[in-house]
Amino acid sequence: MAIKASAAREIDALVADLTGPDTIAREAAVARLTVIGPRAVERLLGIVRTSEGSQARVSAFRALEGIRDPRSLEPALAVAASDKDAGVAAAAIGLARAFIQQDKGASIVERLTTLALDRVRPDAVRLAAVAALKDLPPSTVAPLLSALADDPSKAIRSEATRSPAAPRPHGRGRVDVDAVLARAADGSLPDSPDQLREALASAPRATALAALLRIVERVRERESAESAKQRERWAAARAAAHLVLAKRRSRIGLYDLREWLESPRAALHLDALAALALIGDDSCLEPIATRYAAPQDEWSKTRLADLFRSIVARDHVSRRRPVIKRIERKQKQALEELWPGSRSR
What is the pLDDT at residue 170? 44
What is the pLDDT at residue 283? 92
Q: What is the pTM of this model?
A: 0.64
CA 114, 117, 122, 123 torsion-angle sign:
positive
What is the mean pLDDT of the segment spanning 137-156?
92
What is the pLDDT at residue 342? 64
CA distance 51 to 285: 45
CB 15 within 8 A of CB 47: yes
CB 46 within 8 A of CB 34: no
∠140-187-57 over CA atoms, to 5°? 90
Share of the chain above pLDDT 90, in %: 52
For domain 5-161, the CATH class is mainly alpha
pLDDT at position 331 over 70: yes
Q: pLDDT-based confidence at 179, cuts 50/70/90?
A: confident
Residue-wise pLDDT for 260-277, tens only, equals 999 888 888 989 999 999
Query: Poorest-confidence range of 25-29, 160-164, 206-210?
Result: 160-164
CB 62 within 8 A of CB 76: no
Residue-wise pLDDT for 216-233, tens only, equals 999 999 998 888 888 999
CA distance 65 to 91: 9
pLDDT at position 174 over 50: no
Q: Average pLDDT, whole number, for the chain? A: 87
What is the mean pLDDT of the segment spanning 2-30?
78
Phi and psi for 35 in degrees, rounded to 5?
-70, -40
166: which DSSP letter? Answer: P
Contacts of 92 (CB under 8 A, 6+ apart): 48, 61, 75, 76, 77, 79, 80, 83
What is the pLDDT at residue 164? 56
More confident residue, 266 or 166: 266
Residue-wise pLDDT for 180-217, tens only, equals 998 999 889 998 999 999 899 888 877 888 889 999 99
284: which DSSP letter? Answer: G
Query: Poorest-confidence range of 92-101, 131-140, 335-344?
Result: 335-344
Contacts of 105 (CB under 8 A, 6+ apart): 99
Name the residue among 93, 51, 53, 86 with its Cα closest to residue 72.
Answer: 93
**Highest mean pLDDT out of 17-26, 87-96, 243-252:** 87-96
CB 335 within 8 A of CB 324: yes
Name the residue among 190, 235, 248, 183 with its Cα closest to residue 214.
Answer: 183
More confident residue, 305 or 31: 305
CB 160 within 8 A of CB 126: no
Q: Whats the size of the chain, residue-wise?
A: 345
CA distance 54 to 301: 50
Instruction: For 64-79, give the DSSP string.
Output: HHHH--GGGHHHHHHH
Share of the chain above pLDDT 70, in %: 92
Q: pLDDT-based confidence at 5, cuts 50/70/90?
A: low
More confident residue, 107 or 175: 107
101: which DSSP letter? Answer: T
What is the pLDDT at residue 171? 43
What is the pLDDT at residue 169? 45
Residue type, 26: R
More confident residue, 318 or 172: 318
Domain with CATH 1.25.10.10 in the chain: 5-161
169: which DSSP letter? Answer: P
pLDDT at position 3 over 60: no
CA distance 90 to 86: 6
